[in-house]
A and B are shown apart, each in its own frame.
Chain A
Amino acid sequence: MTDPMRIRASLTGDTVEVKVLMSHPMETGLRKDASGKLVPARYIKNVKASCKGKDVLTADWGPAVSKNPFLAFRFKGGAAGEKVTVTWTDTAGESRTDEAEIR
């Protein structure tokens, strides 16, 4: 089960600033648990953000990104009331999509 992302998109002038907070353990595969066993790697490997069916951001991530990652980016061409959709996919094949309205 995945927890919802928190997405905020605000329009200033002609630029939309998007802030995304994702809930994910981002295990590197290098950490050991209390009994000394390696915790298997599991991290977000791909992030995609789109607006009006058009990709505004794609990112390939690795194990160096922190737990519960915070991502902020800007793009042009969005208008208030439109929706920004963000999707992440992790190494376990799990994926989560959430959206937010531009304000």
Chain B
Amino acid sequence: MRLKIGKLTFWLTIVAGAGTSLAGSLVWAQTAPDPVAEYRAMFGDDNPAVLWTLRGQDLWKEVRGSKHVSLAKSCDLGMGTGIIKGAYAHLPRYFADTKKVQDMESRLLTCMVDGQGMDKAAILKNRFGEGDRKSDLEALAAYVVDASNGVAISLPLEHPEEKRAYALGKAIFFYRAGTHDFSCASCHGQVGKRIRLQQLPDLAGPGKDARDTYATWPAYRVSQGEVRTMEWRIGDCFRQQRLPQLKYGSEAAIDLTMFLAKNAEGGKMAAPGLKR
């Protein structure tokens, strides 16, 4: 049903924009008050994401996998083994052991598969939880990102691979493709626009929109009742753009995250956030 709703709403958007050139007319000036902001204010400090954070904390400390080790004793997210404070604010980054630039999700996967000896296919099958079928990755993501609360996003891009990831991410962001000739920038390249009541942050370069958006992901999605991460968010943008399914933890996903993260530099992490 969720998928159906997704298709229906998108279809309606297209109808509203029909008759004029597509990519340019799908966005309207921001005039409506933000009902999501009011909803967020009612919750105050209480975010259902806490339920994920608590489960993630247990998973982080639990001895698991064929190697019988906990993530707390074996996983390096870039700040040293077991250190999560501030880790998310400096990701994605280059990791010498895997010789790759990795974001939080792909790094957690490396830790679980290579470090703990867990089954990669099983973890990936459950990468997006739904109801009783809970995702370990989403719980761990909530826990890890919560430990970066208040930390300023900083990505110096010192390693050439990091620079390359940023450049590729930028290229993907502006690359128009698919049946609707969409790029990320078609929706996220102007300030103060919206689709229906949904605000469209301008993510094409550094700025307040880029900071506020990146700093509040991962987030609890009220409409789904789940905590979702940046990998999910970008993957869903690809679906909305009618692009091929974005592979979880792929170079494209990580590079795009790198581009968004670098544009958000200086912003203070405030995740897990609370989203529509």
Q: Which A residues contact B (CB, under 8 angstroms)?
A: 3-4, 6, 8, 19, 21, 23, 25, 27, 31-32, 34, 66-68, 70
Contact = CB atoms under 8 A, between A and B. Distances in A.
Given A21-B50, A27-B131, A66-B225, 14 more contacts: A4-B54, A6-B46, A19-B46, A21-B46, A21-B51, A23-B51, A25-B131, A31-B1, A66-B222, A67-B225, A68-B51, A68-B225, A70-B43, A70-B46
Contacts of A68: 48, 51, 225
Q: For the side of the interface on B, what is the size category?
A: 10 to 19
Ranked nearest first, the 4 interchain pairs of A and B with the lowest CB-CB distance are A67-B225, A68-B48, A23-B51, A25-B131
Given A66-B225, A68-B48, A25 B132 contact: yes
Interface of B: 1, 3, 43, 46, 48, 50-51, 54-55, 131-132, 222, 225
Interface of A is mostly: loop
Contact of B55 (A3, A21, A66): A3
Contacts of A31: 1
Given A31-B1, A32-B1, A68-B225, A3 B51 contact: yes
A46 to B, nearest CB: 20
A6 B50 contact: yes
A21 B131 contact: no
A88 B271 CA distance: 29
A4 B50 CA distance: 11
A21 B222 CA distance: 14
A19 B45 CA distance: 10
9 contacts: A3-B54, A3-B55, A6-B50, A6-B54, A8-B46, A19-B46, A23-B51, A32-B1, A70-B46
A6 B43 CA distance: 14
Nearest to B225: A67
Contacts of A23: 51
Contacts of A21: 46, 48, 50-51
A21 B43 CA distance: 10
Contacts of B225: 25, 66-68
Contacts of B46: 6, 8, 19, 21, 70
A27 B130 CA distance: 12
Nearest to B44: A19
A70 B131 CA distance: 17
A68 to B, nearest CB: 4
Nearest to B134: A3
Contacts of A27: 131
A25 B225 CA distance: 8
